[in-house]
């Protein structure tokens, strides 16, 4: 059985662009989280940041995303070829426009991290993305494993590929992060099935549905 997700309070997702109100709060939260964990001085943030908040506005966690059709991905610095070609070495090559990169994960607990992972999967499926890619520490890879989600291992995240910018990340690379990719639809099927399990709290189901509605709205707006 996958990990039980404990949800004690209703929560919601909020998407924040580069010029939106509340952006500095999320960047500060991400910066502080990585500074505590790794002694890092993170100054690079994804174009879109996602806040996981209580209905009272308390910040429970944050994550960023970048669509691959808007330019190079941060993690492509670790790869020998573009992300769509790298994934294509394992499965049928996807269209670059259907790939999204996640990063800047800053959650106060393992449970909050799993909530973000689950909600973002629902959002991405609704928005029509096919593949999600990210750099994952062993802890994050374990979070996916505990949810029963399969990933492609695309290789090590080698800090030498970043040049002098690697120094911003403190001891992050000491835990041997790796570049991973997951099929959004396969993950959605797995997690959607979990929503019917007796142990899944109605609050989690509500967050899941909200995330998918946001994704469907994005897809409709881009149609």
Alpha-carbon span 96 to 84, nearest angstrom: 6
pLDDT at res. 32: 97
DSSP calls for the chain: -PPP----S-EEEEEE-TTSTTHHHHHHHHHHHHHHHH--------SEEEEEEETT--EEEEEEEEEGGGS--GGGGGSSS-HHHHHHTTSSPPPGGGEEEEEEEEESSHHHHHHHHHHHHHHHHHHT--EEEEEE-HHHHHHHHHTT---EEEEE--GGGGGGGGGGGTTGGGG--EEEEEEHHHHHHHHHHHTTSTTS-HHHHHHHHHHHHHHHHHHHHH-
Residue pLDDT, tens place only, 133-187 = 999 999 889 888 888 899 999 999 999 999 999 999 999 999 999 999 999 999 9
Distance set, CA 110 to CA 55, 135, 158 (Å): 20, 17, 25
Confidence of residue 4 (pLDDT cuts 50, 70, 90): very low
pLDDT at res. 159: 97
Confidence of residue 208 (pLDDT cuts 50, 70, 90): confident
Alpha-carbon span 188 to 156, nearest angstrom: 26
Alpha-carbon span 32 to 40, nearest angstrom: 9
pLDDT at res. 1: 39
* pLDDT of residue 66 exceeding 50: yes
Q: Which residue has the tokens 């429970």?
A: 60
Which residues, including other chains, have CB under 8 Å from residue 51's CB and lie 6 or more apart?
Answer: 13, 14, 16, 22, 26, 59, 61, 62
- Report the pLDDT averaged over residues 11-26: 92
* pLDDT of residue 39 exceeding 60: yes
Q: What is the mean pLDDT of the chain?
A: 90
pLDDT at res. 193: 84
- Report the pLDDT averaged over residues 24-41: 96
pLDDT at res. 223: 43
pLDDT at res. 185: 96
5-14, 117-126, 141-150, 169-178: which has the minimum mean pLDDT? 5-14
pLDDT at res. 222: 59
* pLDDT of residue 29 exceeding 90: yes
Q: Which residue has the tokens 């993690």?
A: 75
Residue pLDDT, tens place only, 90-100 = 999 999 999 99
Higher pLDDT, 49 or 147: 49
Domains in the chain, CATH or no CATH each: 11-222 (3.40.630.30)
Instruction: Please report, rounded to a whole number, the percentage of residues in the chain having pLDDT higher than 70.
Output: 93
Alpha-carbon span 157 to 167, nearest angstrom: 14
């Amino acid at each position: 059985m996958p990990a039980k997700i404990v949800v004690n309070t209703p929560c919601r997702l909020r998407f924040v662009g580069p010029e939106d109100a509340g952006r500095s709060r999320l960047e500060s939260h991400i910066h502080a989280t990585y500074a505590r964990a790794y002694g890092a001085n993170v100054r690079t943030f994804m174009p879109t940041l996602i806040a996981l908040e209580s209905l009272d506005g308390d910040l429970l966690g944050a994550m960023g995303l970048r669509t691959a059709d808007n330019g190079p991905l941060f993690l492509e610095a670790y790869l020998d070829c573009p992300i769509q070609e790298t994934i294509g070495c394992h499965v049928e090559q996807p269209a670059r426009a259907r790939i999204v990169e996640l990063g800047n994960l800053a959650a106060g607990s393992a449970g909050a991290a799993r909530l973000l992972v689950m909600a973002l999967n629902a959002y991405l499926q609704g928005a029509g993305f096919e593949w999600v890619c990210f750099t994952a520490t062993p802890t994050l890879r374990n979070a996916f494993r505990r949810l029963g989600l399969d990933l492609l291992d695309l290789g090590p995240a080698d800090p030498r590929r970043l040049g002098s910018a690697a120094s911003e990340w403190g001891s992050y690379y000491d835990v041997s992060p790796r570049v991973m990719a997951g099929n959004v639809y396969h993950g959605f099927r797995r997690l959607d099935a979990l929503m019917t399990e007796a142990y899944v709290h109605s609050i989690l189901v509500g967050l899941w549905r909200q995330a998918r509605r946001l994704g469907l709205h994005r897809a409709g707006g881009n149609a």
